[in-house]
Structure 1
């Protein structure tokens, strides 16, 4: 997907009526910060609307995009921000011209309820996808052929990517930069945006639900301790002991705060550590496995393949930048 820096990757953002205000601004801000080591911009972001008409949001203003949907023909990636109202949310349909315009694009993304538009265009049938947790039940009813995962921050299904509510669009755009250009470029972009390169857990941690009465402990300090000790064995009893909780209480609180189990969270962090080492060092696979906490190259290969679908050396060949 990545291009020569002299020819920036073009991202076309489709602005629709009732657009979510932050969603519309995220791609222009995040992709604009992605630069090559010599300062060349790696992405160009353009915004369009059907007929190049003004589009209005619920915050009391309209925007007038510079382009109509014809600009999608020159785009390498098409991105649909979230919407707060409209036919896509009500009955799962979109105007035929918009449906046709979204077909056959090299890569398509959505932020938040923009997934409704992609689903209405038929782009998510049979695919795994996500959307804002508050709209998950409605989405599942309107689009039963989509394999909805409401617990994650984003889903990368190759040429179609979807994200959860609002700020998860930041996570998705950074993920795309990382996928296109590696972790160093993505990390620099994250620093420019004053945000973490990736966030822990899924959107399940943000679902509105009361915490149990009288349970005031938290697992943040233990998660930080886990990150500092990824290269050593960490079993559930040791984690609960560090948090000064019973195993049962720790496991419950950890899932409430992160949306995943301690074991799943720990494995994800170790995979991230291994990916970073493969991208930024010349260490052998055995040493990467040891430092990431997998112990052996065989274990690393299994977990990395499960996470990203490739072996360590193939991953390094793809993402390591000279």
Structure 2
């Protein structure tokens, strides 16, 4: 029997209707694995930043029942620190150990509550100047779509709320369920790059070539030792032009993007197959199991075996699995 995870979304005056609806849409597509309710600081209706208000059925007491709390964003056209402080005070209802997530400007509330002090976080790129002015103690990264700090997560603006909710589904139930939810919502299960690609970059000419065909070709050939020259050739561009356009479109260098894709493909195989780590490494283009272990640990901080146990829950029973366990143990030991 599936244990239903309760998500409570906190809405305030000036809330963005699009962002407020994201948790209901994404988690609601997870086949009954989540229950989503919305509350306000006093149980009364709230004005949106559009031309209508929203009536909710719950007050702040709903926060006590949450497994995950999501702070919905609000309009900061006339910024006031008191707004964030008032909302932060309501978080006293949240039980210790509850996962807390902000989307877009909801990060201001988490910062006002002191939950982001000394931690990495993000918010909408347009609000980064104000955020840094008010909360210099937070390590703000305006270039990413979301930041996962364990029990506290922050996401960038608008559609990045979809990214962080899909990430939570994947974290809770694995990539197969998250991919199914993404298909239901007609969105990509994972977006390349970060919000850096949306920050006032010049728009390339409509008649110019882009790098999408090269990226698609690379995804079909991840098992090969791909080089920048290979990708540039697929796009029919010089190395310099390709690297510049790639970064404009994706927000990452070609090399970092390739590593990201290989790690993501390896994670899928770890979740969905019993293949040995060395074989997975070969299928995704890493030089060997050691390289895969290093890149996976750099990306998410765990070994392949630990990751597989988290998402599959299967003990190491085969000879190959036992060998992987030994190598994982060696990888965790400090090198002489």
| Bin of the TM-score, shorter chain as denominator length | over 0.9
Aligned positions of 1:217-256 closer than 5 A: 217-256=209-248
The partner residue of 1:30 within 12, 26, 29 is 26
1:8 aligned partner: 4
Q: CA deviation at 1:217?
A: 2.3
The partner residue of 1:157 within 146, 149, 153 is 149
Partner of 1:260, secondary structure, is: coil
1:38 aligned partner: none
Contact (CA 8 Å) 2:201, 2:248: kept in 1 or not? no
Aligned positions of 1:286-297 closer than 5 A: 286-297=278-289
Aligned positions of 1:38-77 closer than 5 A: 41-77=32-68
The partner residue of 1:174 within 145, 158, 166 is 166
1:277 aligned partner: 269
Structure 1 residue ranges without an equivalent (≥5): 36-40
Out of 243-252 and 18-27, give the one that drifted further.
243-252
Contact (CA 8 Å) 1:77, 1:105: kept in 2 or not? no
State the distance in 1 between where 2:233 and 2:94 align: 52
1:133 aligned partner: 125
The partner residue of 1:94 within 53, 62, 85 is 85
Partner of 2:85, secondary structure, is: coil
Partner of 2:181, secondary structure, is: helix
What are the Cα deviations for residues 196-242 of structure 1, in whole angstroms up to 9, with x where unaligned? 11111111111123246799221111111111111101111221122
Partner of 1:78, secondary structure, is: strand
Q: How many residue pairs end up in the alignment?
A: 312
1:305 aligns with 2:297: yes
Q: CA deviation at 1:104?
A: 3.4
Contact (CA 8 Å) 1:99, 1:120: kept in 2 or not? no
The structure whose RCO (Cα within 8 Å, separation 6+) is larger is 1
Q: CA 1:102–1:248 in 2, change beyond 3 Å: closer, same or farther?
A: farther
- The two structures, once aligned, show a CA RMSD in angstroms of 1.8
TM-score for the superposition, normalised by structure 2: 0.89
What are the Cα deviations for residues 268-307 of structure 1, in whole angstroms up to 9, with x where unaligned? 0000000000000111111110111112000000000111
State the distance in 2 between where 1:208 and 1:176 align: 29
1:81 aligns with 2:77: no
Partner of 1:51, secondary structure, is: coil
State the distance in 2 between where 1:90 and 1:215 align: 44
